[in-house]
Structure 1
Amino acid sequence: MKIFSFSNFSSHFVLLIFLLAFAGCRSSQTSSSDSEDIVKLTFLHINDVYEIAGVSGGKYGNFARVAQLKKELLKENPNTYLILSGDFLNPSVLGTLKLNGKRISGEQMIDVMNAAKMDFVTFGNHEFDLKENEVLERINESDFEWIASNTFYYKDGKIQPFTRKGKKLPTYLTIEPKNPKGESIKVGILGITTQYNQPDFVRYTDEYETTKNVYQEIESKTDFTVALTHLLENEDEKLAGIVPQLKLLMGGHDHENMKFTYGKTIMAKADANARTAYIHRLTYNKKTKELKIDSELKSIDSSIDYEPITKAAIEKWNKIADSVFNVQGFNPDREIYKLKEPLEARESLIRSQQTNAGTLIVNAMASAFPNTELAILGSGSVRLDDQLIGIVTEYDVLRMLPFGGKIYQFTTSGDILIQYLDAGTKNKGSGGYLQYQEKLKFDAEKGWLLDGQKINPKRQYTLVTNDYNLSGRETNMEFMNMKTNKEITNVISSDDSKSPQSDIRKAVIVYLEQL
């Protein structure tokens, strides 16, 4: 019979406690050592933001929500940075308005981004829709850093960096986040922009070769490097293949959220207009050189409060806009239609193929002139560069067609009509590409068909188009000038501000109300 001994139990128990305490001490020492080696940082990443107050009637987006999210993330980690990967100065209906006799041209965006405590941006292609002086003014008004690895200013025959408040824009930045123990790391940040839009005052270097060269320059000076990119997804993939050492590409240019891993490089993009944002949490171990990246896609919606300072800045600009719109006869907040499917108005598509947004607009134009045979639109009039989803408000129509302008009915020969349509085809990829009603088709053998019949060069046709397309200023359409071309006759429109003929936006609003 085995007899239990309390003295044996006691001695074993003491030994067990000692061993546990020793192990705990060792564990605590190891944990403390590990924590000293760990540095964490967070990037709050948005891209392609054209609307300060959000979209879908304010349901999604809004810079004040983004600013509030940054404040919350700063509580979690003081090493938090708000970044925007290009495209924010344009397009915007607010930017087309005039303040004190001068077009706003993105001033509202810089003001709101300053209020939101933006940290870093890179150029997008739409920044260069603005005039040279406007771009320079916007850069100088900004309180945040612009990173321009491959984008430069061309002036007086010289290629040089853009400047902000007297200082050259950097080709890269190095930030030094610290952990609670004061240990820091060095992180390189590049800014790479597509060469899609190059006005006379801009010059680019090759995005791939530049990235490789700049990375080689900073490799020995940093623990790791990330990049803000404004490229198409396949271009991001190519970039990651050429410079695989880049750990994270925070992208833009594409307007839908995505996340891919190319080798050891993570690439992510959020939804345009801050419908969503990516939160990239990076954890770096100085001892092992190991980097962990956790990327969370966050919906920017009513679950996030409005940060007060940014909200006030937005309200200031909205009051300016509303006062102008009301004079023009628009009620921006009024809901007019619920879409059954997204309305496609992204620039890359509407300037190269027929889209449902283009079809809707030309049908609206035709409805304003019941006797017309065909309505045609220059796609450059559509500046949304996004999809409309859900409820459509008058403001959505305004931002889709920010320049407005009259629509005209006119008569011309089939010969001029064919030239007009052929010019639109030549303009594929630019604003001179044409959108038209579905009754018009092109047959490779027969040519242009209207209602199934080949267009007769000698016959007269009654057409409708937007004002710019009758100015003769569109590429390859110099002959489409209603003032000089004698074959363009019977030109009519309306000067009544209440008429849908007086403004293409009113034509669309009236048409949507009737659907």
Structure 2
Amino acid sequence: MVANYLTKLALFAAFVANSVSAGCTAERDATAHFQVLSYNDVYEMSPDSDDSQYGVLVGGPSRVIPIAKKLRQNFENSLVLFAGDTMAPSLWSGQFKGLQMIEAHNALGVDFACLGNHEFDFGIEGFLNVSVASKFPWLNANVYEAATGKLLRGTKPYDVKIFNSPTMGSIKIGVFGVLYDMQDTSLSLTWTNPIDAANAVAKTLREQENVDFVIALTHQNIDDDNTFSSKVKGVDLIYGGHDHTVQLQTNYGATFLKSDTNFRSIWISDIKYYAPVVVNTVKKNAFSKMSHKNLQITGAMPTDPTFDGKINEYSDKIAELFKRKVGSLCAPTDLTKNLVRKSDCPIGHFFTDALMNFYGKIKPNAAIMNGGGIRTEKVWPAGDITLGDIISWDPFGNIITIIETNGDSLKRFLVNQLQGNCGDNVINANGQYTHNAGFYFDFKCTGPSTGELVTAKWNNIIGDDIQDTDKVTLAFSDFLKGLFNNVKGTTSKDIISIREGARFEVVLEAYIKLQEGNLVCPNSNPVRGIVHF
């Protein structure tokens, strides 16, 4: 299947090239022909979902490895490029610090990679461990270590690839990478402007390295890539990351492409390069012809048996790590749905307090957790708790985000959530029940699925009223953020986006480590919220 696809791609590329050239007065043969496989934002070794469902985008590196291998076999001039973000967040990354994903990139035969924001989830030292394990260079033209003012260790600003193929021609390709300014001093890093850095390194590649073709690897939002595409000179093609969606944009300057997350899709580019020539004393400039195919990775595609074995090895390791003790409960703690889905309770306080205390660079003044996100339906006894235990408390792999909003939007969201608890003169055990930190609320049910917010105060029941215009920095899960965005009249802007956040079990474990002796003693005093008729 993969072989047939690559053969068809080559024939399609030839057709496109001939079609584009039709009518040219001085058509000439391409100087060089090369292929690029690219991807970005990959965190999971295993497929995303059930691969027995035909056509579902399951992703996973094991299905991409055979494609990369076949590409190398069929095309002497070929590159595999990775546009950043791999060390986190995932369940396995929390334990292996991203090193398991380097196994995937190495198996894919990556030629060059750029940095993503999640490359620093475990600090500079965590990235250095990853860079040492990588069988490819990390390209970085604009991230520096604050302590030394020098380029981040384990990276280089650019690299050059030279192809000399008797069948596909000769070409010298320059590749560099940039990362958006994360504006996070806690990482002990500094950033220069990606556009300024890119213009400088592209000039170096053109004028000093004398390359024929320049590829930029970027990790930034689509708006930044649009600006980058129009303002950076000397770049022929851009492969980007960070948005987690498939994109091909050509409106602003150099074409840029982005893939879906977790190998759900990859790009394969077919590129023909035509060197400058002189015809009848007239110089004709260099140019390129490109076609790009977004290849969706489904369960029908074959996997790589060797890498499947590697996945099984890590699965066995994680099963053992789930037994690792992370702390202790000082008293029996109720996680039954009849409690967590209808009333203020100790475990709800623990979850939301953890949200308030995770991101050191930003201190939220409010946090929310839905009762339906707290699972296991049991009363946990006092005693040791393991990593597997806290994962079972919230098993959904949610990412913790922070937004900036206002008091009016917060109250609208509370009403939208809490009215689900209003039954026919009874408080329903509904997953929408809102556990919270940083504020107090009183919600009165006035009928089935309807009610009103009687009181919303900062900190506690005797705090100041939350005004509509108050600035709210709210921490909650990506699941709740999606619900928040759908409530009419709410406004917000991302402070910690879904693409930058950490998984819930990482947040919980970090909060446990903050407790003296790692002893967890959830309590519900004072009460933070009440739903009643």
Shared fold (TM-score greater than 0.5)? yes
Count the aligned residue pairs.
366
Q: Confirm whether residue 40 of structure 1 aligns to residue 29 of structure 2.
A: no
Contact 2:37–2:269, Cα closer than 8 Å, also in 1 = yes
Instruction: Indicate the SS of the match to 1:51.
Output: coil
Aligned to 1:293: 290
Aligned to 2:308: 311
**Distance in structure 1 (CA, Å) of the matches to 2:339 and 2:232:** 54
**Distance in structure 1 (CA, Å) of the matches to 2:476 and 2:178:** 23
Aligned to 2:227: 238
Q: 1:178 deviation in Å?
A: 2.5
Contact 1:224–1:246, Cα closer than 8 Å, also in 2 = yes
Aligned to 1:88: 86
Q: Could you tell me which of 307, 327, 340 is aligned with 1:369? A: 340
**Distance in structure 2 (CA, Å) of the matches to 1:412 and 1:110:** 43
Aligned to 1:210: 197
Contact 2:40–2:241, Cα closer than 8 Å, also in 1 = yes
Q: Could you tell me which of 242, 259, 266 is aligned with 1:270? A: 259
Name the CA shift for 1:489/1:42 in 2 (closer, same or farther; >3 Å). same
Q: Confirm whether residue 416 of structure 1 aligns to residue 448 of structure 2.
A: no
Q: 1:437 deviation in Å?
A: 8.7
Counterparts of 1:140-159 in structure 2, within 5 Å, are 140-155=132-147, 158-159=148-149
Name the CA shift for 1:421/1:397 in 2 (closer, same or farther; >3 Å). farther
Q: 1:124 deviation in Å?
A: 0.5
**Distance in structure 2 (CA, Å) of the matches to 1:45 and 1:135:** 21
Contact 1:68–1:304, Cα closer than 8 Å, also in 2 = no
Contact 2:356–2:437, Cα closer than 8 Å, also in 1 = no
Instruction: Indicate the SS of the match to 2:272.
Output: strand
Aligned to 2:429: none
Instruction: Indicate the SS of the match to 2:228.
Output: helix
Name the CA shift for 1:192/1:367 in 2 (closer, same or farther; >3 Å). farther
Q: 1:291 deviation in Å?
A: 0.5
Cα displacement string for residues 135-183 of structure 1 (whole angstroms, at most 9, x for unaligned residues):
211111111111001122333xx1112333xxxx221111112232584
**Amino acid of the structure 2 residue aligned with 1:206:** N
Aligned to 1:497: none
Name the CA shift for 1:424/1:175 in 2 (closer, same or farther; >3 Å). farther
Aligned to 1:389: none
Contact 2:221–2:243, Cα closer than 8 Å, also in 1 = yes
Instruction: Indicate the SS of the match to 2:34.
Output: strand
Contact 1:245–1:265, Cα closer than 8 Å, also in 2 = no
Aligned to 2:116: 124
Q: Confirm whether residue 162 of structure 1 aligns to residue 205 of structure 2.
A: no
Task: Give identity over the alignment, percent.
Answer: 20
Contact 1:45–1:277, Cα closer than 8 Å, also in 2 = yes
Name the CA shift for 1:425/1:225 in 2 (closer, same or farther; >3 Å). same
Instruction: Indicate the SS of the match to 2:318.
Output: helix
Name the CA shift for 1:51/1:370 in 2 (closer, same or farther; >3 Å). closer
Name the CA shift for 1:116/1:487 in 2 (closer, same or farther; >3 Å). closer
Aligned to 2:106: 114
Across the aligned residues of Structure 1 and Structure 2, the Cα RMSD in angstroms comes to: 4.5
Aligned to 2:218: 229
Aligned to 2:70: 72
**Distance in structure 2 (CA, Å) of the matches to 1:469 and 1:416:** 23
**Amino acid of the structure 2 residue aligned with 1:146:** W
Cα displacement string for residues 202-240 of structure 1 (whole angstroms, at most 9, x for unaligned residues):
221111111111111222311121111101111011011
Aligned to 1:257: 246
Q: Confirm whether residue 200 of structure 1 aligns to residue 200 of structure 2.
A: no
Q: Which residues of structure 2 form unaligned runs of 5+?
A: 1-26, 52-56, 278-285, 326-334, 360-390, 401-433, 441-456, 491-506, 515-519, 529-533
**Amino acid of the structure 2 residue aligned with 1:74:** R
**Distance in structure 1 (CA, Å) of the matches to 2:272 and 2:124:** 41
**Distance in structure 2 (CA, Å) of the matches to 1:106 and 1:125:** 13
**Distance in structure 2 (CA, Å) of the matches to 1:114 and 1:322:** 24
Q: Which residues of structure 1 form unaligned runs of 5+?
A: 1-32, 98-103, 329-363, 383-393, 445-465, 474-481, 492-515
Q: 1:41 deviation in Å?
A: 1.4
Q: 1:51 deviation in Å?
A: 0.6
